[in-house]
């Protein structure tokens, strides 16, 4: 595996692959890699002959007062894990490489409406930072396939809309959420949880799973199901921001005949902000 920090060297390597007729997958990450990320790398190998994994803690998707400075940075350990997983390139650029003119007056890519609900309402500007950096990574790598985790479901929907609207020829694939045995979705931010908070945190998944089961059993009072989900999280000591049932395709409110749904939630617990979701096929 090659570790590259500059765009020119990255493009030279990818050009060589292209000349050999090889397909390319990109797995964008912020590092502090865990089993969920490794699953994305494995999935990338299934869809392309070459795999680029980027590690970049993107400053533009953090709001003032959030955990940008504290976000775990474990590049040496991450590199060893990626080498064992068979990644071809670890692209670990500096902020100056990604944003050569700085971030104050940078070109921003924004997906309106979708970026302003749910997590976007709780973290204004967050998704503009995500789409702006991912669009840049797409331009640098020009991947055939890009792999993202399903846990960040709103992000997944937004990035698919961005690629469609901007006519970026990339197939965006979702990797299944990886969980602890107790149901808690793997996240780099789980390390912020105290031992007591780790006991309460799995409630977020079980509330989602119970809502999914009620939907499968024929319950269609969505307002009641959402209220029950919020109450369950409150009772477990979490501070939920939302608990919502939406169409899986575009996060719009479901219609009576909607068959593909997602139940998604975000909640704060101590220093951690936890997000999770489950898909429902009716």
pLDDT of residue 57: 98
| Residues facing residue 185 across a β-bridge | 179
Q: What is the CATH number of domain 188-277?
A: 3.30.1300.10
Task: Express each pLDDT in 77-102 by its tens digit.
Answer: 999 999 999 999 999 999 999 999 99
pLDDT band at 275 (very low <50, low <70, confident <90, very high): very high
Active site residue 37: yes
pLDDT band at 103 (very low <50, low <70, confident <90, very high): very high
- The domain segmentation of the chain, as residue ranges, is 2-175, 188-277
Q: What is the CATH number of domain 2-175?
A: 3.40.50.620
pTM exceeds 0.85 for this model: yes
Task: Pick left, alpha or beta for residue 148 (phi over 0 → left; psi -120 to 50 → alpha; otherwise beta).
Answer: beta
Average pLDDT score, the chain? 97
pLDDT of residue 225: 98
pLDDT band at 178 (very low <50, low <70, confident <90, very high): very high
Q: Extract the tokens encoding 247.
A: 């169409």
Is there a common fold for 2-175 and 188-277? no
- Per-residue b/e over 11-50, b at no fewer than 16 CB within 10 Å? eebbeebeeeeeebbbbbbbbbbeebbbbbbebbbebbeb
Choose the catalytic residue: 34, 37, 47, 126: 37
What would the mean pLDDT of 14-37 be, rounded to a whole number?
98
Q: Extract the tokens encoding 200.
A: 């309460």
């Amino acid at each position: 595996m090659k570790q590259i920090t500059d765009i020119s060297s990255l493009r030279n390597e990818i050009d060589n692959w292209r000349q050999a007729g090889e397909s390319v997958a990109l797995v964008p990450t912020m590092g502090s890699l865990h089993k969920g990320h490794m699953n994305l790398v494995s999935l990338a190998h299934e869809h392309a002959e070459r795999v680029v994994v980027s590690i970049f803690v993107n400053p533009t998707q953090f709001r003032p007062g959030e955990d940008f400075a504290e976000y775990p940075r474990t590049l040496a350990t991450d590199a060893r894990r990626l080498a064992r997983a068979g990644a071809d390139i670890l692209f670990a650029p500096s902020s100056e490489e990604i944003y050569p003119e700085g971030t104050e007056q940078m070109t921003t890519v924004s997906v309106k409406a979708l970026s302003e609900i749910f997590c976007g309402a709780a973290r204004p500007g967050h998704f503009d930072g995500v789409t702006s950096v991912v669009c840049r990574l797409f331009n640098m790598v020009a991947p055939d396939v890009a792999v993202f985790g399903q846990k960040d479901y709103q992000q997944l929907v937004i990035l698919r809309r961005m690629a469609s609207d901007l006519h970026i020829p990339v197939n965006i694939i979702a990797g299944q959420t990886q969980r602890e045995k107790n149901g808690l979705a793997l996240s780099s931010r789980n390390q912020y949880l105290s031992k007591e908070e780790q006991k309460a945190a799995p409630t977020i998944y079980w509330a989602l799973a119970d809502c999914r089961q009620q939907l499968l059993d024929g319950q269609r009072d969505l307002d009641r199901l959402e209220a029950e989900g919020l109450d369950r999280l409150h009772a477990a000591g979490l501070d939920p921001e939302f608990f919502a049932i939406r169409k899986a395709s575009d996060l719009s409110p479901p219609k009576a005949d909607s068959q593909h749904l997602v139940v998604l939630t975000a909640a704060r617990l101590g220093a951690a902000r936890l997000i999770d979701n489950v898909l429902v096929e009716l």
